[in-house]
C-alpha cells in the first residue's frame, strides 16, 4: 500500500552532545560514545494528505546509550499547541517515522532505533532563527531552552563559518555548523554547553530528502 502523500519544508536547528564536527555525520562513533540532543523545525510549507501544516513548529528530543545504529534509544516529539487534532496526528506520524519508506529519513531511523517512544507533548514553541548568521533561540516552557551562535575563532575572535555537505543524506543536503547549548527536563533530560549546533533547510517527504 502506498504511503500517504506528505511534505515538510522549513528551517531546522539542532544541538547534540558531539564536538563541532559531529563524528556521526562522518559515519564514526559519537564524541562521548553516546548520542543525545534535540532538533526543532519551523514548517514554512507542508501537508499530510489534505491536512495543511504551514506555519507550525515541531521539536524532537532523542537519546541513545551508544551510537544510534546500536539502538536502545528513546525519542519524544513536541508539537505546536496551535495544531488542531488532524495536524497533531499528522505531525506525530511524520516525526515517528510513519508513512515513510524504510530508512528514507532520519525520523524513520530515530524511531526504528528507539526502544522507548514517549507520547508526544503539545506545547507552545518559541523559535527564532537566522540560518546565515548561525543564531537561534528556542523556548518550550517547562521542557526545553536552547541557544545557538557561531563558532568563534580562538585566534582572531572572529566568527568561523563551516558547513557539512551530504549529497545523499537522510536529513539535509547542506548544514551550517555552529555552537549550541541546551537544557531540557522531563522524559529526556539534556544539559549541553557549547557543543555541536546545526542549521539547515529541511525538505522531507515519505520518500526521503527532496532535492
The DSSP output letter for 26 is G
| Residue 186 belongs to some domain of the structure | yes
- For 149, the domain range is 6-209
| Residue 1 belongs to some domain of the structure | no
| Residue 58 belongs to some domain of the structure | yes
Q: Which three cell numbers stand for residue 37?
A: 540532543
Structurally, the chain folds into a number of domains equal to 1
Per-residue pLDDT of the chain (211 residues; tens, 9 = 90+): 789 999 999 999 999 999 999 999 999 999 999 999 999 999 999 999 999 999 999 999 999 999 999 999 999 999 999 999 999 999 999 999 999 999 999 999 999 999 999 999 999 999 999 999 999 999 999 999 999 999 999 999 999 999 999 999 999 999 999 999 999 999 999 999 999 999 999 999 999 999 8
CB 41 within 8 A of CB 11: yes
| Residue 22 belongs to some domain of the structure | yes
Amino acid at each position: 500500500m502506498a504511503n500517504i502523500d506528505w511534505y515538510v519544508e522549513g528551517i531546522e536547528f539542532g544541538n547534540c552532545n558531539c564536538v563541532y564536527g559531529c563524528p556521526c555525520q562522518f559515519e564514526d562513533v559519537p564524541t562521548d560514545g553516546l548520542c543525545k540532543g534535540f532538533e526543532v523545525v519551523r514548517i514554512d510549507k507542508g501537508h499530510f494528505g489534505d491536512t495543511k501544516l504551514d506555519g507550525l513548529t515541531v521539536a524532537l528530543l532523542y537519546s541513545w546509550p551508544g551510537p544510534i545504529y546500536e539502538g536502545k534509544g528513546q525519542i519524544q516529539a513536541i508539537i505546536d499547541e496551535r495544531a488542531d487534532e488532524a495536524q497533531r496526528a499528522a505531525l506525530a506520524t511524520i516525526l515517528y517515522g510513519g508513512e515513510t519508506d524504510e530508512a528514507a529519513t532520519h525520523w524513520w531511523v530515530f524511531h526504528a532505533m528507539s526502544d522507548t517512544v514517549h507520547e508526544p507533548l503539545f506545547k507552545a514553541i518559541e523559535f527564532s532563527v537566522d540560518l546565515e548568521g548561525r543564531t537561534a533561540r528556542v523556548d518550550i516552557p517547562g521542557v526545553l531552552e536552547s541557544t545557538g551562535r557561531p563558532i568563534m575563532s580562538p585566534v582572531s575572535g572572529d566568527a568561523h563559518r563551516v558547513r557539512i555537505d551530504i549529497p545523499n543524506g537522510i536529513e539535509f543536503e547542506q548544514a551550517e555548523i555552529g555552537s549550541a547549548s541546551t537544557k531540557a527536563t522531563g522524559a529526556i533530560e539534556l544539559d549541553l554547553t557549547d557543543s555541536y549546533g546545526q542549521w539547515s533547510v529541511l525538505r522531507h517527504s515519505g520518500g526521503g530528502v527532496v532535492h
